[in-house]
Structure 1
Amino acid sequence: MFTLTVVSQKDLASGVRTARSIAATAEAFDGAPPVSDQAFIAASSGARELFMANEVGAGAIGFGILGEREIDVVVLPEQRRHGVGTALANGMLTGVRGPVRAWVHGSQPDAEQILSAKGFSPVRTLLRMTLDPLALPATFPLMPAGVRVRTLDPSSASDVTNWVDVNAAAFASHPEQGRITVADFERMTAEDWFDQAELFVLETDDITGFAGYGWVKTIRNDQGSAPDTELYALGVSPEAAGRGFGRLLLSQTLAQMSTHHPASVSLYVDGENTRAVDLYERHGFTVAARSAQWLRPETNKL
């Protein structure tokens, strides 16, 4: 037997810690993160609701995050196929009429069955691409005249505003990345893994603000073991498109990864973004896993 509860504001910090622990266990079992960083950040700030499934007389066995027209459901591997995921989805979607999206990361037939039964269907693909760490460049790229790459200063209000602006422009059609606000960015840079030395911004003499940026996420593992590196995000302003800045920023971020001698190199990219996929493939990345975003349109069913 298990119970479903909405985590209150006073218990939110401990609830998020528990949810992150469940997510880490699910990731180790499934080979893919079950929830995005943005979803956890939104839950931590109260922008999305956090639901917990607790086994009676024991601890949490699953959780869900709902808000901003998106739902996430995660259940411990050993507790799956006992109705926990279905109960979470039922409880979270009660009273929700508007369109809702959900991610299924990797191969998750049980999750797909639950979503299909709730009226969801796949609408978008996310690729996880990887690169052999031995293929990382050993040197940083040279910048052409009038072009500068430096690290962002998160304590600078103008730097933060310029980053939010160029990110919104670069990902104007992206339903999650393009909506990031100053408050969201501040929560992202408060994450344990954030290192301002790994968030690069590109400036030019002829463009106001930032022309683009590249962001490395480095996860340091047990002491003495090599870290895992991820190209967390890379964006170029439409105003600066066609000038090779994407290649420059990618080379910059890959060279930064090389300084760590990492165990792995990865990135996530929309499968429909063929220009970005082509860019990464030209630099040696290959598709390691596919995820799908599912959509339930607006409904009258409660």
Structure 2
Amino acid sequence: MFIREIESFIEEDLGYDDVSCTIVPDRPVEATVFTKEDCTVAGIDEAASIYYYFGIQAETDFKDGDRLSKGDVIFRLRGGAVSILRAERISLNFLGHLSGIATLTRNCTDIVRKHSETTRVACTRKTTPGIRKFEKLAVAAGGGDTHRFNLSDAVMIKDNHVKLMGIEAAIKAARKTSFTRKIEVEVESAEDAVFAAELGADIIMLDNMQPDEIKKTLSILKEKELRESVLMEASGGISLENLEDYAKTGVDIISMGSLIHKSRWIDVSLEIVGYEA
């Protein structure tokens, strides 16, 4: 985490006149940060960066992606009382939010692994403005794929691109950008999937297709000897509840915006356990 990022989070939380933390005597204290429920932890580095900024000694036995049980101590802290109180909410927000994403992602990857050893579970760009990189890294901690971090990572030709210029013209224009970028095309029918594959798309996203439609599309691509030349991604309306049906289709990637925007925060707490008189 960059210093400028930490300072922006501190500015947001402390404001211009921190009357809550400064009323306590600033004596050396010890504290623990612990989880109140089972989870896959994420946000370790982010929380540690915040503690170090405040001059707090922070020790942990864990790394992002570790599975924790209720009551596990994530951090043992030593530092000034005021500093620990100031770092408390910011660090817990990151740990709770990012661990929630990692935990949901882990649950999803566990479901998919029952049916495929190779299918990737990926997130999307449906992220919280300003903290996308942290949320996507939390997906990675849960065993998922980060997909694109931003629009520069790859070319994705979506429905509005197709409406404006058509699949063929869009792919030709994308090929002119750089040989290093993969080209992904979003389609809504088997016919368009075949067309995009014939034009040399690297990845084809089957948007809002039901599992039976996906299986049919993959079968057609296989018959035309196009299946092995392209990665197939299912996306749109996929959740924890229907994920198993999509995992059985044989696609290479299942992308889920819900990994981030429907994740539930993990309950994480900080408790002062000792102080000098």
Q: Shared fold (TM-score greater than 0.5)? A: no
Larger fraction in helix: 2
More strand by share: 1
TM-score (norm 1): 0.27
TM-score by length of 2: 0.29
